[in-house]
Structure 1
Amino acid sequence: MPRRLPIAVALAATAALALSACGTTHENSGQGGSSAGQAPANCKGPSGHYLIGMSQANNAEPYREQMNKDIQNAAKAIPQFEVKISDAAADDSKQVSDVENFLTQQIDLLIISPNEATPLTAVVKKAYDKGIPVLVLDRKVDGDAYTEFIGGDNVDIGRQAGEHMKKLFPNGAKIAEIRGLAGSTPAKERQDGFAKGIEGGNIDIVATVDGDWLRDKGQAQAEAVIQAHPEIQAIYSQNDPMGEGAYLALKAAGKEKTVKVTGIDGLPIPSGGIKSVEQGRLAATFVYPTGGKEAIAAAKTLLIDCKTVPKTQTLPTQLVTKDNAADVYAKANS
């Protein structure tokens, strides 16, 4: 005779299955007082006032500047929210200090986009273990001591970039890769995904350099690569600003018409990657949403609605080429 589960256990299992079936881009897992499956203890509902600390990795990056704006604009619609933003200026120790400072201010929720994963893991866990909901944006920390990760699938974006490179060069090509900050998770994931995407395509990566997500450094690194490898036919840049820097280096060398540059971010702003594709500086980019408005929506769910959020929220991407750039830009700003 089969063993019967107690009614309470059976009901719990049914509820767990129901939760796991909600949506294809979410994963419900985790632990702690503010994890998926349990609303935060400090939820006071619509009558409360909530202090949110946003710890930014580096305001000097256009993508992060836009992320801050998206957070601030979304929060304006929620009168219960007060958002304070700190800038780590690409300094891990300063970002740790920024989060510690937020904790002394007794924030109700932490949003963080880590500069690098490992150095920020302990302080994020400290906040999480205090029962403070933690929303991690764009870049991850080690382990799972956070409430929700919100960001794109960087491995998949890298893979798509690699597959697009194969379409650009069906007979193969010699290319260079400009990576972001080495200790940040998107840099490794976009590199790993790209390597998968170019498999079988006779795409030879003759140089890999680090641009730290910055336009100026991307330009300097591209200048060195062009001198060392004048035969390259394309550059895969892990973000648009480094790609713009690479374009400037190519233009100075008289190669901007013959070497194709692919980026990632696709910000729908005049200085962003979509316009760069439309205007011909980048051959392609991939939209990578900042997650700012989604973070505020999650904060509202946790603090005002007193409901749970999934452990992972994966944001969509889109390939932008010369053919669709104007339309993608118009739709993003409609």
Structure 2
Amino acid sequence: MSSRTRSMFAAVCAVALLGAGCGTTSTNAGAAGGGPDPAEVCGGPGEEYTIGVSQANVAEPYRVRMNADIRRAAAEVEQFDEVQFLDAAQDNSRQVSQIRTLITKRVDLLIVSPNEAAPLTGVVGRAYNSGIPVILLDRKVNGDSYSTFIGADNERIGRKAGEYLAEHLLPEGGEIVELRGLSGSTPAAERGRGFRAGIEGSGIEIIATADGQWLRAEARSKMAAMLKAHPRIDAVYGHNDPMAEGAHLAARTAGRAEGTKFVGIDGLPTPSGGIKAVRQGRLSATFVYPTGGAEAITAAKRILIDCESVPRKRTLPTQLVTRENAAEVYRRLNSR
């Protein structure tokens, strides 16, 4: 959008704000504390917009699917002229540099899935306070310098995973290992904290944990080491499906997959995703964790085109997937 057009629309929007025409992009957008001015960022349906997407990595199938969902939804909005995807490859410094470049380019809106919270907080705040709306997707930063966060409730999912293990897979208790996501990412902390609440008082003991960095190969290596150190492992809790699958591969190689339970999170409805792994018996359960890609584009449209407010937080629904409902969930998610 040209600066002249922005200024003209800002004048119109300023008048409309006295009525009900132009909303705010977040609870504090345009306020004294900083953040985008809704009158400046919303150009209406007559303009074209560039969106920058800063992705933590594309080594995870979940993030590949997220980008695909963003791309598919953006293609249905004719005003979204360009969507620029950048891959941080799990490198905080690289992601900071990439976001700085997007700020310099003055993209109209940023969608960010931070690699880790603390290292990305400053540059996300810089973008937001420079007047660029920021949608945080799946992972958070510290503080509140963003327009909206979209993601599922990771702590609740972790708790449900713990409860399912305690009530259905190991009702008599047992010894389990946990493969955690990247230590500085908010879902890792939340999924771990929730899980511990879910198994509390159950007789289940976490005998070892390891950081699998959300990656199948890394988790397989860490699981191989834990199998050597622990002659008994009754179950594995992986913070995502690729790590749970990596653990299963390691256990199968060691001849110890039989009788061991594997639980993951993501539930991608793809041929190599977690739902198929449940159907085929490699995982005992997973939890659908929506990518939020389509919802992020809906929020971007409301901010840039419709001049409407968006909530500071949108919590996406999830679902437990077991052998009993895996086929139905797979069909339903692929019929959308």
Deviation at 1:29, TM superposition (A): 6.5
- Change over 3 Å in CA distance of 1:129–1:61 after alignment to 2: same
Q: Please tell me whether the aligned partners of residues 266 and 286 of structure 2 are also in contact (alpha carbons under 8 angstroms).
A: yes
- 1:233 paired residue number: 234
- Cα deviations across residues 154-207 of structure 1 (Å, max 9, x unaligned)? 000000000001011111010000000000000000000000000110110000
TM-score normalised per structure 1: 0.90
* Match status 1:287 vs 2:288: yes
Deviation at 1:94, TM superposition (A): 0.4
Q: Which SS does the other structure have where 1:85 is aligned?
A: strand
- 2:62 paired residue number: 63
TM-score normalised per structure 2: 0.89
Q: Please tell me whether the aligned partners of residues 264 and 285 of structure 1 are also in contact (alpha carbons under 8 angstroms).
A: yes
Residues paired across the two proteins, number: 309
Q: Please tell me whether the aligned partners of residues 138 and 150 of structure 1 are also in contact (alpha carbons under 8 angstroms).
A: yes
- Change over 3 Å in CA distance of 1:258–1:195 after alignment to 2: same
Q: CA RMSD in A?
A: 1.8
- 2:97 paired residue number: 97
- 1:46 paired residue number: 45
Deviation at 1:242, TM superposition (A): 0.5
Deviation at 1:104, TM superposition (A): 1.3
* Match status 1:180 vs 2:177: no
Q: Please tell me whether the aligned partners of residues 58 and 115 of structure 1 are also in contact (alpha carbons under 8 angstroms).
A: yes
- 1:123 paired residue number: 123
- 2:208 paired residue number: 207
- Cα deviations across residues 195-251 of structure 1 (Å, max 9, x unaligned)? 000011011000011100000000001111111112110000000001110010011
Q: Please tell me whether the aligned partners of residues 26 and 148 of structure 2 are also in contact (alpha carbons under 8 angstroms).
A: no
Alpha-carbon distance in 2 for matches of 1:330, 1:39: 40
Unmatched tracts of structure 2, length 5 or more: 1-19
In percent, how many aligned pairs have the same letter? 58
Aligned partner (choices 32, 50, 57) of residue 29 of structure 2: 32
Deviation at 1:106, TM superposition (A): 1.0
* Match status 1:142 vs 2:139: no
Alpha-carbon distance in 1 for matches of 2:77, 2:44: 12
Q: Please tell me whether the aligned partners of residues 40 and 133 of structure 1 are also in contact (alpha carbons under 8 angstroms).
A: no
- Change over 3 Å in CA distance of 1:270–1:36 after alignment to 2: farther
Deviation at 1:32, TM superposition (A): 3.0
Q: Which SS does the other structure have where 2:282 is aligned?
A: coil
Matched AA of 1:88: A
Alpha-carbon distance in 2 for matches of 1:73, 1:251: 37
- 2:218 paired residue number: 217
Alpha-carbon distance in 1 for matches of 2:79, 2:264: 38
Alpha-carbon distance in 2 for matches of 1:300, 1:223: 47
Unmatched tracts of structure 1, length 5 or more: 1-14, 20-27
Deviation at 1:293, TM superposition (A): 0.3
- 2:87 paired residue number: 87
Q: Please tell me whether the aligned partners of residues 36 and 308 of structure 1 are also in contact (alpha carbons under 8 angstroms).
A: no
